[in-house]
Chain A
Amino acid sequence: MTPGSYAIERATTASRLGAVAGAVLLAVLVALPFWGSSSDMRLLVEFLSMLTLAQMWNLLAGYGGLVSVGQQAYVGLGGYALNVLADFLGLDPFLSVFLAGLVAVALALPTAALVFRFQGGYFAVGTWVVAEVYYLLIANSSMLGGGLGRSLQALRSIPRAERERLTYWIALAVGVGAVALVYLMLRSRRGLALTAIRDSARASESLGIDVFRSKLFAYLVAAFGGGVAGALIYLNLLRILPTAAFSVNWTAAMIFVVVIGGIGTIEGPIVGTLVFFVLRELLADYGAWYLIVLGAVAIVVMVWAPHGLWGLVAARLGLRFFPVQRRVRLATVVDP
């Protein structure tokens, strides 16, 4: 075979068309404050924070093989970090959303030192225990309002319309940034290592991949994303309660979204988040039934269609909007 007879490519037709469609969609969304209502903006902030959380859990479990049931720790810590940075230290509240992510990373390091002693199912419950410890420490801290929580003061001087617009644009930046971050990370050396670990930790170790460091890196990135999303959620809600902020239902939502959409792909959590919000609107009048249906759908998908809804679509149509793998394409060789 001559060197010119094949090509290595990464982009697909879908990814090229998707990039164009994505750019148009992004432009429409950036302009939303000029054509949408404030309830549209609030719904989209919720959507984008959920999307961010789902992408982070997907990175953690779908690529890092770390099934955490304690990611609510970073939602709560991010929300409280926003309150501390903006109200107690007087920093800009919008900038504080991103600083809250760094606070989450700073706390994720000692947390990892504990929970990384566990593997598999024990890691799952271990992360949950640590999340409970953070919850109990904050719920018992009178400075942070104890069990009654507190209201964010820093935004009081900002007019409502301006506050809603800025919150929405930050949410858009965070949501798009989370997808871009995971995409770029997976295309890098580190991402290749993570993908290899997902397929076989032992084989990747024998190829010289530092499994521990790669997993730690995924854990820290997920903590950052969780902290930023948590801060964003409570920038939008303005009032934080420890029971709600550290509720395991955050992690339940992340897990169900990722599994229903399709774990181990970037498209999956996007599809899953859409399904999540459609179900939520449909079952809004039925109280707890909403979570029962979500849990049942997740179990059915895991048992009978483990690649999720996006997996079903991708298998039939071969669509890949976020190609992370390289493929060899043979050129048609014309013999002289």
Chain B
Amino acid sequence: MDWVNAVVQGVLLGGLYALFATGLSLVFGIMRVVNLAHGDFIILAAFLGVAVVGLTGVSPFLGLLVVVPVMLGLGYAIQRALLARVLDRGVLPPLLVTFGLSIIIQNALLQLFSADDRRLEVGGITTASIAITGQVAIGWYPLIVFVVGVLAIVGLQLLFFRTALGRAFRATADDPETARLMGINHRHTYAVAVAIAFGIIGLAGVFLGIRTTFSPDIGPGRLLVAFETVVIGGLGSLWGTLLGGVILGVAHTIGGKIDPAYRELTGHLVFLLVLLARPEGLFGRAVRET
């Protein structure tokens, strides 16, 4: 029964991982850029939550009303001011710029907030749970995060396939030159995509901070989780991302159950196995070379 419980917790954890991964997947899908600072921006958002809660005393959930818009603005600004300048210059420049941001954010957070573990406190909801059987219980909080993860994916799906903005995203991703001929401002479109990705990063950061303790140096680990989730699920598939998150979440809880030291290693090994067996991911199309 302990194992059933581990699987259930892993599935719910997958919702948080999907939330980590959608931002990374969105930026890559539209601009073919891997944001190496993705994990550090998640942690930055969590610390932003700490600052907002500390200054105003509101609940972290209400703090989202500040954190998410600030992250949206930050994403738009970083794209227009920095990433746009290196987009057409090959593989290295966007990687170097985001890697530089990663190191800067980690060390700036270290200077501002010290290396101490932090947590966003929301009171009783993190411990409340629904008992299913004697040993299996579903925590309210993991369930909320899972639902938010699913809603984020449904929202993006609707945005992509039901709105004019989504059409502009798809057109720019497929062929920026032709999209421009059709009157799409590609610079603005790219920046809006990054802004949306950063908004989701804001959600992910605060939900992570409520769930577990965090410190400035754990960003790269979240990047790897997001990356593995995207690759397991398959590039370009939003529902694949949710499945990827669930598989990775279950791998982490099962591995951690065998021995806490094996938690992350199990996740990496499952990722490498999927890569060997199905390089395009479970839901993915073959990757186009650009």
- Chain A residues at the B interface, C-beta cutoff of 8 Å: 61, 65, 67, 69, 114, 117, 119-122, 124-126, 128-130, 132-133, 136-137, 139-140, 248-249, 252, 255-256, 259, 263, 287-289, 291-292, 294-296, 298-299, 302-303, 306
Contacts and interface: CB of A to CB of B under 8 A. Distances in A.
A289 B111 CA distance: 8
Contact of B34 (A114, A120, A249): A120
A114 B272 contact: yes
Contacts of A302: 86, 92-93, 96-97, 100
Contacts of A255: 96, 99
A130 B103 CA distance: 20
A295 B101 contact: yes
Which of A65, A256, A302 is the most central at the interface, judged by chain B CB atoms within 10 Å of its CB?
A302
Contacts of A122: 34, 227, 231
Contacts of B102: 295
A133 B268 contact: yes
Nearest to A65: B91
A139 B261 CA distance: 9
B265 interface: yes
Contact of A121 (B34, B111, B224): B34
A77 B220 CA distance: 20
Contacts of B104: 291-292, 295-296, 299
Contact of B111 (A69, A133, A288, A306): A288
A306 B89 contact: yes
B96 A298 contact: yes
Contacts of B106: 291
Nearest to B268: A133
A125 B36 contact: yes
B275 A125 contact: no
Contact of B268 (A132, A140, A306): A132
Contact of A296 (B93, B100, B231): B100
A121 B91 contact: yes
B32 interface: yes
B224 A124 contact: no
B63 interface: no
A205 to B, nearest CB: 12
A303 B85 contact: yes
Nearest to B261: A140
Contacts of A61: 92
Contacts of B228: 129
Contacts, number: 118
A121 B107 contact: no
Contacts of B262: 140
A303 B91 contact: no
Interface string B27-66: 0100011101000000000000000000000000000000
Nearest to A123: B91
Interface of B: 28, 32-34, 36, 82, 85-86, 89, 91-97, 99-104, 106-108, 110-111, 220, 223-224, 227-228, 231, 261-262, 264-265, 268-269, 271-272, 275-276, 279, 287, 289
A125 B224 CA distance: 7
Which of B96, B224, B287, B289 is the most central at the interface, judged by chain A CB atoms within 10 Å of its CB?
B96
Nearest to A300: B100
Contacts of A130: 272
A217 B85 CA distance: 32
Nearest to B109: A288
Given A114-B275, A133-B272, A263 B227 contact: no
A160 to B, nearest CB: 34
Nearest to B224: A129
Main secondary structure on chain B at its contact with chain A?
helix
B107 A288 contact: yes
A263 B224 CA distance: 26
Contacts of A126: 275
A306 B93 contact: yes
B101 A299 contact: yes
Given A121-B91, A291-B107, A128 B224 contact: yes
Contacts of B110: 288
Contacts of A132: 224, 264, 268
Given A137-B265, A259-B96, A288-B111, A124 B103 contact: no
A136 B82 contact: no
28 contacts: A67-B91, A114-B272, A119-B287, A120-B32, A121-B28, A121-B34, A122-B34, A122-B231, A124-B95, A125-B223, A125-B224, A125-B227, A128-B220, A129-B272, A133-B268, A140-B262, A140-B265, A252-B103, A289-B107, A292-B104, A294-B103, A295-B107, A299-B82, A299-B100, A302-B86, A302-B92, A303-B86, A306-B93
Contacts of B268: 129, 132-133, 136
Can you list the 7 inter-chain pairs with the closest CB atoms, starting with the nearest? A121-B34, A288-B107, A295-B103, A295-B100, A299-B100, A136-B265, A295-B104
A67 B95 contact: yes
A303 B97 contact: yes
A299 B92 CA distance: 11
A129 B227 contact: yes
B97 A299 contact: yes
B266 to A, nearest CB: 10
Nearest to B38: A125
Given A129-B272, A292-B111, 5 more contacts: A121-B36, A133-B272, A295-B100, A299-B97, A303-B93
Residue of B100, B107, B224, B287 most packed against chain A (CB within 10 A): B100
B89 A252 contact: no
Contacts of B97: 299, 302-303
B279 to A, nearest CB: 5
